[in-house]
Chains A and B, each alone.
Chain A
Amino acid sequence: MASSFKINEKIYNKLLELLNDAYFIDSKGNINDFQFYHDDHWLSDSAVIDNLVYKKGEWNIELIFALHNNPLKFIKRQIVSYSCSKKANLSASLMRRMAAKDQRGTLEVKAEDFKICHN
């Protein structure tokens, strides 16, 4: 028979006490605990743009999540890098399709349209 994990009696009792206390200590959460959800809610309705950046001999795939009605509201995330550009291209398009709400991409938003100033 496989020997299983054993717990010290004192610690087991302490654990049970903590379980008991959970029902007396736990209180209801506040509505503002969910603020993070509201803060990130716009992401569910964003356009996704895939962007390939050649850096240190590798093609980095970046996904840009942009709100289509407010182009200044966007975030950029670097996902992964490939040493082959074709592979990177293919992965980037697949990732964009997976991440985007509008998978066919008719709600297209181009990075250039944002007229981002790199200075």
Chain B
Amino acid sequence: MYNTKERIVNASIKLFNDYGIASVRLQQIADEIGISVGNLAYHYKNKEAIINSVYEKLFEDFQQILGAYLKTPSFLDFDSQISYYFDFFKNYQFYITDLFATEHPLPEVRQKWQEFMNKMIFQIRKRLDFHAKRGDILPQPEATYDIIAEAIWITIVFWIPQQQMRTKPVTETRFKAAVWNNIRPYLTEKGVSDFSTLIIPIFV
């Protein structure tokens, strides 16, 4: 059983996803979990405090995903990180407006997004280095790896919103396939065999 504070944060995330952060009112949040606005004000003194809590949870989750870098030396490690990213970006769909907003109720959020997204790209880039060194990926010039890393990052971050915009289904399998397709053309023979034994069985 969640406590009220958690319920408020979870309801806020849902409403932020549906209506955007700016348009959600405290009354809506209170109605969503069936408590009074007075009770809501007991836990959070204003909307800013709720937004603060939501972002704290969001960045903590993001940090957790970034912490899951190369725990095991195989494709499976990236595959599980992709799954975490899928859950994360699906859960916090309001991130897309954040990325392009010129103003934000919390100015440090913008900076944090930038920092985390940079870390994400660096991780993907270094992961390519790792698999190249391991002989899973064909040797390429550094610049090519940079471009592949960026393409993977773009897929992870923008695949869900583009599917929603086109009212297409958002499934983890398709998400993963879209991400892996950036790497597949560069796999060596060893990489292909690893991929077909480790990753393809999970797709089905």
Contacts and interface: CB of A to CB of B under 8 A. Distances in A.
A23 interface: yes
Contacts of B122: 9, 12-13, 16
B118 A9 contact: yes
Contacts of B109: 1
A30 interface: no
Interface string A25-41: 00000000000000000
B126 to A, nearest CB: 4
B106 interface: yes
Contact of A2 (B56, B69, B115): B56
A49 B133 CA distance: 57
Interface string A10-24: 001100110110011
Interface string B15-31: 00000000000000000
Interface residues of A, number: 14
A3 interface: yes
The B interface, classified by DSSP as helix, strand, loop or mixed, is helix
**What class of interface size applies to chain B in its complex with A?**
20 to 34
A16 B133 CA distance: 14
Contacts, number: 37
A6 interface: yes
B133 A20 contact: yes
A59 B138 CA distance: 71
B119 A12 contact: yes
Nearest to B126: A16
A3 B108 contact: yes
A12 B56 CA distance: 22
Contact of B70 (A1, A13, A20): A20
B70 A19 contact: yes
A23 B109 CA distance: 35
Contacts of B115: 6
Contacts of B130: 20, 23
Interface of A: 1-4, 6, 9, 12-13, 16-17, 19-20, 23-24
22 contacts: A1-B56, A1-B59, A1-B108, A1-B112, A3-B108, A4-B59, A9-B118, A9-B122, A12-B119, A12-B122, A13-B122, A16-B122, A16-B123, A17-B126, A17-B129, A19-B69, A19-B126, A20-B70, A20-B130, A20-B133, A23-B134, A24-B133
